[in-house]
Chain A
Amino acid sequence: MKLLEHQAKAQFRSEGIECPMGRVARTPGEAESAARELGEVVVKAQVPIGGRGKAGGVKVARSPEEARAAASQILQMEIRGYRVPAVLLEELLDIGQELYLGVTLDRDRRRLAVLLSFAGGMEIEDVAERTPEKIAKLWPDPFSGPLPFEIRQLTLNALASAQGEQVLERPRLLSLMVPLVQRLYQLCQRLDATLCEINPLVITRSGQLIAGDGKVEVDQNAEYRHQDLVRELGGDAEAASSGDDQLEVEARRRGLTYVHLGGDIGVVGNGAGLVMNTLDLVKQQGGSPANFLDIGGGAKAEVVRQALEMVLLDPEVKGIFVNIFGGITRGDEVAKGLIQARDELQIQLPLVVRMTGTREEEGRRLLEAAGITPAVSAPEAARRVVEMVAGAGR
C-alpha cells in the first residue's frame, strides 16, 4: 500500500518530523480558502506515483484566486493514468539546500538501510546509477535501530561527497540529523513499511530541516495490522488505483495472484517459479503471454474455474495454456476441474493442458476423452498453444 503525500506527511508529523504547513483540498473552493489561510502556496496533485511535477501536477500560486485556478486544473488531470482525488496546498519554503533521506529494505543485507545524500530533489535511482558515491548508507541493527554515533558517521560520509557551501554549520547539522533519522526509522518500523522517504529533505535558509515531500510504502503482508490506514485511504483508494492495470485491480478483488502482460496466450499454473518458467517457454516458442496466474498448491476444481474465468476477462486472450505440476495435487482432480470449467464457462478457445506428477496418466486420459489437448512436456505444450493461436488468427 502506497500512501499519498498528505497521508505520509500526517505520519511524519505524528513521529515528530517537521513538514510544511499544509491543507488538503478536494475542490477548487476548498483550495481557495486553504490558500487564504496559508498565503503563497504550492499546489500538488495527490497521486501515488513520481514524476507529477513534469506532468504539470505541481503549481505555485501567489494568491487565493491563483490557488483556486491551479486546483481546478490539477483536479481534472489524469497523471500517467491516475485520477487526482485531492491536492495538497503547502506554504512555500525558503529553500537553502535539498537533501535525500530514505529508509528502505536492502535485500542483500537482509536489513533496512538508511540512505542519505546531499544530491536531493533528484530521483535517488538516478543518483545511485550515475554517482553512487554521493549516497551514504547505514544498515542499523534491527533491534536497536540507528544509534546516534552511527547517524553522525552517516552524515559525515554524505558530507564528504557534498558540493558547494553548507547552509548549516557541521555541529548543528549533526545534532539535527540524529533525531530525524531515528524518527524516520522508527516510523518505518511502526508502519511495517518497506520504504519511508523524504525527498527533498529541505534545509531552509533559516536552518530548519523540513520534509518537502513524503513517500511511504506499507508492506502488503503487514496490512492486516494497519486497518486504520487502509480505512483512512478510503475514498482516495479508488482514485489511487485508477492508474493501475484494471485487470489486475479486478484480480486483487478476487484474491488471485495475477499479472497482466499484454499478449494473447493466457497462462495458468501452480507455483510462482513454474508459472514464470511457463511464460518463458511461450516466449521461446514465439508466442506472447497475456498474463501470469499462479493458482498455488493443492489446486481444487473451483480454483481452476476461477482462474480460467479471470484469464478470459482479458479480451486479447486467444488461447490458454495450463501448466500443472502434480505433487500433492492429483492430475485426475485437476483434469476434472478443467473439464468442468471449460463446460461451465463454454470455452471455445484453444486450450492446451500440460500436467505431470501424481496421477498424470489418469488425468491425461480424462482430458483427451473431453477433447482437451493434453501434453507431457512443457516446451511441447508451449509450441502447440502458440501454433494453435497463430492458426486461429489466419
Chain B
Amino acid sequence: MSILLNSESRVLVQGMTGSEGTFHTQQMIEFGTKVVAGVSPGKGGSQHLERPVFDSVAEAVIATGATVSGVFVPPAFAADAIMEAAAAGLELVVCITELIPVNDMVRARAYVSSRGARLVGPNCPGLMSPGERSKVGIIPNQNGRPGPVGVVSRSGTLTYEIMQSLGAAGYGQSTAVGIGGDPVLGLSFSDVLELFAADPTTELVVMAGEIGGSDEERAAELIGRGYPKPVVGFISGRTAPPGKRMGHAGAIISGNTGSAASKVAALERAGVEVADTIEQIVERVSARLRRG
C-alpha cells in the first residue's frame, strides 16, 4: 500500500520526447512504473521509448486508460499542460517543471481544483512508492526502499538524502512526496498528512519543511487537532535572513511570516518532535518505530 501512486497507476508523461522527459521516463520505467504513453503536441502517432506518443492528453487517456500524468514541459507551457491533464480527467498530475510564472500557477491550481484532480508540485521532485515499484518524477531510483515511513518534503535533494539515510538504517518508505519549492503549490503538507493518516502501511511520517509561507504552521494545526500517527519534523533555513529568496522561489521570509522559528514552534506546540539534522531524523524515527 501507499498513497497517491501504486503498482496499478497508469502513467503518461507530458513532454516525454524532450531530453529531460526522455531521461527521467527511462528511469521511471526502470524503476517499474507503468508508463503507458507520452504526450507531445504535433508528435502524435510516433513511438518513443517503446511507448505510443499522442498529440493530446485526452487522446492518450482514451487509448491507454492513463490515470496519472508527469509533466516535464518547459515553464512557458507547463501551466497549460497541467490544466490539459486535469481536463482529461486524470486523478493525479505531477509537475516537475521549475520557473513557472506564479500567476500561471494561480490559474492552473484553481482549474485543477475545480476538476477534482490532485496536483503535486510544481518545482518538485515528484513522488515514489517503493513497495509498489512506482514513481513519477526524478527521485533517484536507488534511494527508494519499501517500508513504513511516509516522507513529505518541500525540497528535492533533501528528500533523497532523508530517504537514503532512513534506508541505510533499515527504514523504508511507503511513499515519499516532494510537494515543491514554489509559492503556489498543489498538495500542501496538510493534504499529504491526511492521506498518510488513512494509509495502513504508513506507521510514521517524516515532514521536512523550510522557510517561507505558512503551510508548515497549518500542518501543525492539523496535527494538534489529533493525528493518528507519530510525526517527526524538520525545518531547514533556520539561519536564513528575512527578505532573501533562498534558492526556491517560495523560500523567503516576508514580513512576519515564514520564519523557521515560527514553524518549529508551531510543530512543537502540536507535539511534533523536530530534528535538527538528518541524522537526528533517523534517530527519532528509529526510537518511535521501536517503541511501536
Contacts and interface: CB of A to CB of B under 8 A. Distances in A.
Interface of A: 105, 107-108, 110-112, 125, 128-129, 141-143, 188-189, 192-194, 219-222, 224-225, 257, 259, 261, 269-277, 279-284, 289, 292, 294, 297, 325, 327-328, 356-358, 377-379
A328 to B, nearest CB: 6
A280 B218 CA distance: 23
A291 B237 CA distance: 12
Interface of B: 75-76, 99-107, 109-111, 138-140, 142-143, 153-161, 164, 181, 183-185, 208, 210-215, 218, 236-241, 244-251, 255-256, 276-279
A272 B161 contact: no
Given A257-B247, A261-B241, A273 B158 contact: yes
A349 B142 CA distance: 35
Given A107-B213, A142-B103, A273-B158, 9 more contacts: A105-B184, A110-B185, A129-B256, A271-B158, A276-B210, A277-B158, A284-B276, A289-B239, A327-B140
B157 A270 contact: yes
B155 A274 contact: yes
A216 to B, nearest CB: 13
A249 B143 CA distance: 37
Contacts of A261: 239, 241
A108 B255 contact: no
Contacts of B237: 276-277, 279-280
A142 B100 CA distance: 16
B23 to A, nearest CB: 8
B258 to A, nearest CB: 9
Nearest to B102: A219
A284 B236 CA distance: 12
A353 to B, nearest CB: 15
Contacts of A222: 101-104
A107 B106 contact: no
B115 to A, nearest CB: 13
A275 B211 CA distance: 13
B246 A276 contact: yes
A377 to B, nearest CB: 7
A327 B251 contact: no
Given A189-B103, A273-B181, A279 B157 contact: no
A225 B101 contact: yes
A274 B215 CA distance: 19
Given A107-B184, A276-B251, A259 B245 contact: yes
Given A225-B101, A356-B161, A358-B140, A110 B278 contact: no
Contact of A356 (B106, B164, B211, B214): B164
B164 to A, nearest CB: 7
A328 B157 CA distance: 11
B101 A272 contact: no
Contacts of A377: 279
A108 B213 contact: yes
Contacts of B105: 110
B158 A274 contact: yes
A378 B236 contact: no
A110 B121 CA distance: 13
A194 B249 CA distance: 12
A220 B250 CA distance: 12
5 contacts: A111-B106, A259-B244, A273-B181, A276-B246, A281-B277
